[in-house]
Structure 1
Amino acid sequence: MSEPHCPACDARMERTNVTAEGVGDLYVETGRDGGVLDRLGVGHQTPLHAFLCPGCGMTQLYADLSE
């Protein structure tokens, strides 16, 4: 995934890591109930990638839909 641009200030966002004490990788829990995520082939746990704007500090998380 290429670095997105910040919707607040249009600076190029940089990939970063978001962690919680004692927690490993971040995932989003997704159901496979025949909905849009099922049609996209998204599994039950989809990895998240974090991006940080160096200009304003906005942080965004993106689900890795390619896996």
Structure 2
Amino acid sequence: MRERPCPDCDVQMEQTNVTAEGVGDLYIETERDGGILDRLGVGYQTPLSACLCPECGLTRLYADLSE
């Protein structure tokens, strides 16, 4: 995962796991109709990564897009 600074604190966010009881990996569901997600290369199910700011606790989810 690439480095991501916290937009509020400007410190390096740390990779973390977000889980929901009874749920495995988190994904976004997308429709492939030529829209913005299709142009970004997002598939029908795209895995999500979570980052946590060690200073303020902000947590963000990022779609794992091919670089």
Could you state the TM-score of these two structures normalised by the residue count of structure 2?
A: 0.91
1:50 partnered with 2:50: yes
1:1-67 to 2 correspondences below 5 Å = 1-66=1-66
5+ long unaligned stretches in structure 1? none
5+ long unaligned stretches in structure 2? none
Q: Which deviates the most, 50-59 or 28-37?
A: 28-37
What amino acid does structure 2 have at the position aligned with 1:34? G
Could you state the TM-score of these two structures normalised by the residue count of structure 1?
A: 0.91
Query: How many residues are aligned here?
Result: 67
What amino acid does structure 1 have at the position aligned with 2:30? T
C-alpha distance in structure 2 between counterparts of 1:39 and 1:58, whole Å: 28
C-alpha distance in structure 1 between counterparts of 2:5 and 2:12, whole Å: 4
Q: How far off its partner does 1:39 sit?
A: 2.1
Q: Among the aligned pairs, what percent are the same residue? A: 76
Do the aligned residues in 2 keep the contact of 1:28 with 1:45 (CA within 8 Å)?
yes
4+ residue stretches of structure 1 with deviation over 3 A?
none
C-alpha distance in structure 1 between counterparts of 2:23 and 2:37, whole Å: 25
